[in-house]
Chain A
Amino acid sequence: MTDAALPLTMSEAETRPQWQIIWRQFRRHRLAVASAILLIALSLIAIFAEQVMPYDPNATNAVYAGGRPQPPTSEHIFGTDNFGRDYFSRAIVGARVSLFVAVSAVLFQITIGVVLGAAAGYFGGWADNLLMRITDIFLSIPSFFLLLIVSGVLGGSLLTLILLIGALNWMTLARLLRAEFLSLKERDFVVAAHCIGVPGWRLVLQHLLPNALAPIIVSATLSVPYAILTESALSFLGRGVPPPDASLGTMMENAQQWLRTSWWMWVVPGSIISVIVLSFNFVGDGLRDAFDPRLRR
């Protein structure tokens, strides 16, 4: 972003070429593009779940199931669970819950990470010291176990789950952003802006943050898979998404007792989690390469 040194305020038109370069780079990573399309499709399915689902995910059919999960048929393409509930519809709802929890948690963690990282990098001195010590503390916590404790001992709701996953995973971004701010702060365009009397908050919002967008976006994209895996592992251990909501991890937990007899019960949710996580990782990788000028070929 060497061109950022010249204009003090960039208009919409002036910033566009930068994004065009990034888009052109991103497009070359074919798996990343395919993953992005897949994720958009999945998000649309999750948002419009009610319209897409072939059955009511909570409608039981005891006669059909007879107390056992039923294998996939043309009517129930993913089979049914032991209550005769359509597993395809349940998977859609499960994916919706998983995505909702993960994306909300990441939004929360990005907010904390950006605020603390920016504050540490911008103010420096004792504030930086204090904030980085707090970051050290959080980095030394066995966060997964703490999540288990809090949801196990105190009981949890969807909201506490989101807040907790977010509150325990902001550290990497905070460190990244602090380093970014420390180096940006010394750059001529920021010093110049400071000299002509641009107030601090505008300096941060208009000069520093926009130039630190790349690590924020990459970190956000690569944090979603982590949040999904954390949530599903928690749910798998029975400590994640509380009933009546069911995430893909919860479906895995329920599937454990059918491990020997009904493969679709655990293959379906596990595959969907894997595909979602893999797609986010591909997109994150693609974005990181696209933002990195050293990798341009």
Chain B
Amino acid sequence: MSHYLVHRLLQAIPLLIAISFLVFGIVEIAPGDAAQMYIDPDKGTDPEYIAQVRESLGLNDPVYVRYVSWLTKTFEGDFGFSFRTRRPVTFEVSERLPNTLLLGGTSLLISVVIALPIGIISALKRYSILDYLLSTLALVGISVPVFWVALLLIQAFSIQLGWLPASGMRSVREQYEGWAAVKDVAEHMILPAIVLSLAQTASWSRYQRSALLEVLGQDYIRTARAKGLHEFRVLTRHALRNALIPIVTLIGLSVPSIVTGAFITETIFSWPGMGRLGVDAINGRDYPVIMAVTMLSSLVIIIGNLLADIAYVWVDPRIRYD
């Protein structure tokens, strides 16, 4: 197992390097560079001065020199300075990352809590009206655009009913402390968390249904029943244990779609997280932030894949990697 783990971790390095190559390439052909930010507007028109700034920033170095220097800095955790705020990118990220993790984690939890029971009920009541209804609902959940659901919920719960805030993470005008502050954030999080979890919930419940159906058809279930075990025990001890294996993997593999969802959801709800940071950076052509967000999202996706594989081996003793 540890051998496999090390092997997989080592595989992640060339992956990250390849992605860094891609991102650097895109930014390289994009118009504008760091010099614009450092040029003092008072002396900005003097070509000699501009050339001096460019030289001191290393912008005149050949592409590969600049790439290697950027890459080594990135691996050391130094992403440079944001063009817009002029603060270190690490600073911007460390401010936003916890918010995204909070929102993403909550939506993940919602998905698991809702999707698994739905999938199990559908599988147990296969071809019943309930199964039909839940399966259709799940397909609808996959099919509606995230941003549209967001607008619908904002319209209903913020504009019409006035129950929940439509944007931000905290009430701007209030200074809450203690529990009141937690409650304030929770209220702001309800709508974005629901929107972010929707697609996951829908697709996981479909997978859970088919996984359980597959397991229920296995010989060992028939054996368990033949032994005269109570149906509830057959289900919990024999069927569900095995039917949950693919779901564990699925959670890790859903990371890319959660990352995508975060970009859209955070933008709509003005949630101060990484997704919003990334979209704002693109709108402001803030290249250091763009590169940082891309590299970090890739890292998260790679870790998600890795966790999925590890969890798979961990839950299912039948699988051996070494």
Contact = CB atoms under 8 A, between A and B. Distances in A.
A139 B257 CA distance: 11
Interface in A271-297: 273-274, 277-278, 281-282, 285
Contacts of B23: 149
A37 B50 CA distance: 63
A141 B146 CA distance: 21
Given A148-B278, A153-B27, A142 B259 contact: yes
Contact of B148 (A153, A225, A270): A270
B256 A137 contact: no
B15 A137 contact: yes
Contacts of B259: 142, 144-145
Given A153-B290, A237-B279, A140 B19 contact: yes
Contacts of B11: 136
Interface in B68-123: none
Interface in A223-276: 225, 229, 232-233, 236-237, 239, 249, 252, 256, 259-260, 263, 266, 270, 273-274
A152 B294 contact: no
B269 to A, nearest CB: 13
Given A149-B282, A237-B264, A142 B297 contact: yes
Contacts of A249: 145
B22 to A, nearest CB: 7
B128 interface: no
A295 to B, nearest CB: 10
Interface string B247-262: 0000000001001100
B171 to A, nearest CB: 20
Given A142-B294, A148-B278, A148-B279, A232 B139 contact: no
A146 B279 CA distance: 11
B301 A142 contact: yes
Which of B22, B29, B147, B297 has the most CB atoms of chain A within a 10 A radius of its CB? B147
A275 to B, nearest CB: 8
B263 A144 contact: yes
B293 interface: yes
A277 B282 contact: no
A142 B297 CA distance: 6
Given A142-B298, A152-B283, A237 B143 contact: no
B159 A149 contact: no
Given A136-B15, A281-B139, A281-B143, A145 B293 contact: yes
Contact of A285 (B18, B27, B139): B139
Contacts of A239: 282
A150 interface: yes
Interface string A112-137: 00000000000000000000010011
A273 B145 contact: yes
Interface in B232-273: 256, 259-260, 263-264, 267
Given A144-B260, A145-B263, A149-B282, A252 B147 contact: yes
Classify the interface of chain A: helix, strand, loop or mixed.
Answer: helix
A143 interface: yes
A154 B256 CA distance: 23
Most buried by B among A148, A256, A260, A273: A148
B152 to A, nearest CB: 8
Contacts of A266: 148, 151
A153 B143 contact: no
A232 B264 contact: no
B262 to A, nearest CB: 10
B51 interface: no
A50 to B, nearest CB: 27
A149 B263 CA distance: 12
Given A141-B22, A142-B297, A142-B301, A277 B144 contact: yes
Q: Which of A136, A146, A229, A278 has the most CB of B within 10 A?
A: A229
16 contacts: A136-B15, A139-B305, A140-B298, A145-B293, A148-B263, A148-B278, A148-B279, A153-B282, A154-B30, A236-B145, A236-B147, A249-B145, A252-B145, A252-B147, A270-B144, A274-B143
Interface of A: 31, 133, 136-137, 139-146, 148-150, 152-154, 225, 229, 232-233, 236-237, 239, 249, 252, 256, 259-260, 263, 266, 270, 273-274, 277-278, 281-282, 285
Given A148-B279, A229-B146, A236-B145, 6 more contacts: A142-B301, A150-B26, A239-B282, A252-B147, A252-B151, A256-B151
The 7 closest A-B pairs by CB, nearest first: A270-B148, A142-B297, A278-B143, A144-B260, A152-B282, A277-B143, A153-B30
